[in-house]
Amino acid sequence: MARMPISNTPERATLDDARAVSRTLAGAFADDPMMRWFLPDEATRAVRLDRYFTTIFTRHYARHGLCERTGAAAAFWVAPGAQAMPDAETVQELVDVLGEQGPLFREALEGAAAHAPTEPHWYLAVLGADPVVRGQGHGSALLRSGLARADAAGLPVYLDSSKESNIPVYEHFGFTVLAGAELPGGGPTLWPMRRAPRPAAGA
């Protein structure tokens, strides 16, 4: 019996989608250098990743961001002027999830807040697709959806890539690397990227 294709059409993600979104992102970030550094214990990484994304989605992005999903991918966006950083209670819960590396996570968040762009912009906080569907357009569909909103508003988009191999993908969509920044405590490099707004189709 043939398997039904997994939809790659973006839909708004709500708190009711928390289980599916968290499971998808835990799989997507299992090989991410930043998350592997924050969660070095392979035996507990999958469970902690699931808890991490459940927490940050339900407590922050589902309430203060714009979240979209396909059948096997999810993206969290922050609109101009919205609350970009989680509140103190959420940060503490994330620190507890990460365990020994939690204090460095807190330090990384504080550094990100201090260097946040000052111009009005959309921010792509999280984008990930389940490894089983990579190359099937799920991540690209979510990225195009968010970029279309930013372009319609005439605003730039920022993101921080935690995987160097993803840089060419983002460059294909018009992003440019601003500079490399190492995480505190000798962690891996993050690549802040910016994309200038493009005229809407037909404009």
pLDDT over threshold 60, residue 2: no
d(CA 166, CA 189): 13
pLDDT digits (tens, 9 = 90+) for 34-90: 999 999 999 999 999 999 999 999 999 999 999 999 989 999 999 998 988 899 999
Which tokens sit at 46?
A: 């999958």
Pairwise pLDDT comparison (137 vs 21), residue with the higher score: 21
Q: What is the pLDDT of residue 7?
A: 76
Signed CA dihedral, 194, 27, 30, 76: sign only: positive
Q: What is the pLDDT of residue 1?
A: 38
Domain 11-195 class in CATH: alpha beta
Q: Which residues, 6 or more positions from 9, have their beta carbon under 8 angstroms from its beta carbon?
A: 70, 141
Question: What does pTM read for this prediction?
Answer: 0.92
The Cα-based distances of 203 to 101, 124, 154, 198, 200 in angstroms read 48, 25, 12, 10, 5
Residue 126: name the closest of 90, 161, 97 by CA: 161
Cα angle: 12, vertex 16, 17; to 5 degrees: 60
Going from N- to C-terminal start, the domains of the chain cover: 11-195
Residue 185: band (very low, low, confident or very high) from pLDDT cuts 50, 70, 90: confident
d(CA 180, CA 40): 22
Q: What is the pLDDT of residue 175?
A: 98
- Give mean pLDDT, residues 126-153: 92
